[in-house]
Chain A
Amino acid sequence: MKEIPIILDGDPGHDDAIAWVLANASPLLDIRACTSVCGNQTIEKTSYNAMRVMKLVNLTVPFAIGRRKPLLSDPIIAPNVHGESGLDGPALPEPAITPEPMDAVDLMAKILQESTDPITLVPTGPLTNIGALLLLYPELKPKIARISLMGGGINYGNWTPAAEFNILVDPEAADTVFRSGVPITMAGLDVTEKALIFPEDFERIRALNNPVATVVAEWLDFFYQFHRSKGYEGAPIHDAIAVTALIKPEILTMKDYYVLVETAGDYCRGMTIADRFGVLQQPANATVILGIDRQAFVDLVVEAVAYYGEGAR
């Protein structure tokens, strides 16, 4: 039974795309809508990629496009990681859906309003849409069961020494999210840098030999090029952990912390700061994922990709 209703919000992106492949294959998740956000690439490119990924996995739920830029900042994009298209590598099918004639935030609000059950939001890009949703529709907070996000890191950053990319791109949105009071699960660099798929695992996926498997293996080939050049043993599938937290939490280790987002500073803008020793005496606002059983994670991804060979959905 699909017991967890979710909305996928991302900036695909190789690891977003794999996160969506994973979510769509899960018998636990009831995907109510997908939305795009600017991040890894411009909003035009991430939206186009999102719709292509939806076609690839035959996901036909409502889709809406997010705004052109973060709440306050100018966009930052990551072509060095994801390529000029934002999802370089294998050829993908053209989109088969038309975006809803409304902003991503309004689609999220509509889905939440119409749902009888609270819905979990799964943002895997900058938190622009989620921040805007909380600012524009504060009355819908009780309809949000949880925000399971990929972003931040309580030990270090990646785009800058202090900040992880998704939070750095829109720190004000992230600050809004972390101060919202909505339960948060944070898949940050602390865990996602350990969520490595090794080159030998790529071959397990490729050998599944279904249309999705071939594409996922080639995404991994592309995504790993950048990371290999930086000395990684495999490709870190950051965004997939925000989904894993919902469908297989038992392979993760987590700890509750009060987490702050820095929006100012010369060097620390976009940093997520955890109050490890409780010096601020605030109740925890986030469940921070710190560790992962890597092999179990790889098996989960392989199983998800195998699902597409059975012609389901």
Chain B
Amino acid sequence: MSQIPLIFDCDTGVDDAIAIMLLNKLPQFKLLALTTVAGNVELEKTTNNTLRVLELIGADVPVYRGAAKPIFREHVSAVYVHGENGLGGIELPQSNQAIPGVNAWDYIFQEAVKWQGELEIIAVGPLTNLGLAFIKYKQLPDLIKRIVIMGGSASLGNITPAAEFNIYVDPEAADIVFCSGVPAYMCGLDMTMKAYLTAEEMAQVGALGSKPAKFFQDVVQGPLNFYHSLGLPGMSLHDPAAVLYANDPTNFETHPVGIRVETKGQHSLGRTVTDLYSDAQWEKNAYIITDIDRKKFFERVLDLMSQY
């Protein structure tokens, strides 16, 4: 079986950490590297968290450091969900893994050239690294097969009433990515809010007993409380849902749409404006994933975590 060359761009983060653990058990992907970005917490923390999660699961994958701040704006974090350290206060053992001296956006371009158009990217943080890569390398759009994005929403917001966090943090980068010409698959809140696990289901994962499974259950406790405080039935696994979509879209619903990112509104900054059916009839530059079979999603998460 030929593997799909993949770069995972992340801002680890509780659900990023889980996504990494799942990704490590998906043999369809040849995971070239993880690239980090400022997002849920600052860059040093997201990078450090990424290294620690890899150490925990014993995965030998390089990590490249990316952008410390959005392209045009100051960084906004999400400590109210992910905790000060980004991992809900859970202290994983340090990693000794060295970080190469190449920037994430340069590394992405190098690999894109090397794989001659076969490279896929899953991006689950603010899209700063990809935005910078497209600004710097004009030939890059022809060299990336597709980008699966956790971010945005056609109908909801979370950091503001109109905008999802990852897109809100760097809306200009997001617009660059959606307008790049590379097929973009938006796993936004429309779908990921339905990709939740209840406290009982989290406990089922924890009961698998391995170190990664126990970490899974521990790390979600903070965010789980946050989601419960909103009156929601469980914690949404946004980033894992994007990873499993990229791996197999069977249990999801996908539609071709036109998407542009609002970079100027007073209340709508960072909105991924999605033309599902309006009279404007925007050119279809993206795909939106609107639905997920939650039960099958949980089964898949449980199955992958049981492989530790």
Residues of A within 8 A of B (CB): 80, 154-162, 230, 258, 260-269, 271, 273-280
Contact = CB atoms under 8 A, between A and B. Distances in A.
Interface in B257-277: 258, 260, 262-269, 271, 273-277
Which has the most chain B C-beta neighbours within 10 Å: A156, A264, A268, A280?
A268
Interface residues on B, range: 20 to 34
Contact of B262 (A156, A159, A266): A266
Given A156-B155, A161-B274, A268-B262, A262 B279 contact: no
Contacts of A154: 155
B98 interface: no
B10 interface: no
Contact of A159 (B265, B266, B276, B279): B279
B68 interface: no
A162 B271 contact: yes
Given A262-B268, A265-B265, A156 B162 contact: no
A275 B267 CA distance: 11
A10 B72 CA distance: 44
Which has the most chain A C-beta neighbours within 10 Å: B157, B266, B267, B271?
B267
A265 B163 CA distance: 13
B160 to A, nearest CB: 6
Contacts of B158: 277, 279
Interface string B150-163: 00001111111110
B137 interface: no
Contacts of B155: 154-156
Given A265-B262, A265-B269, A276-B161, 4 more contacts: A264-B266, A266-B260, A266-B263, A277-B157
Given A267-B260, A267-B262, A276-B156, A161 B161 contact: no
A268 B260 CA distance: 10
B1 interface: no
Interface string B67-78: 000000000000
Interface of B: 154-162, 230, 258, 260, 262-269, 271, 273-280, 282
B162 A279 contact: no
B265 A161 contact: no
A261 B266 CA distance: 9
Contacts of A262: 162, 265-268
Contact of A263 (B266, B273, B274, B275): B266
B162 A273 contact: yes
Given A264-B264, A268-B265, A156 B278 contact: yes
B167 to A, nearest CB: 13
The 7 closest A-B pairs by CB, nearest first: A265-B265, A268-B268, A161-B275, A275-B161, A267-B273, A155-B155, A268-B265
A274 B160 CA distance: 10
B278 A268 contact: no
Contacts of A230: 277
Nearest to A260: B267
Contacts of B156: 276
A271 B162 contact: yes
A278 B263 CA distance: 23
Contact of B161 (A155, A266, A267, A274): A274
Given A263-B266, A277-B158, A280-B161, A160 B278 contact: yes
B276 A162 contact: no
A234 B74 CA distance: 48
Contacts of A274: 161
B282 A161 contact: yes
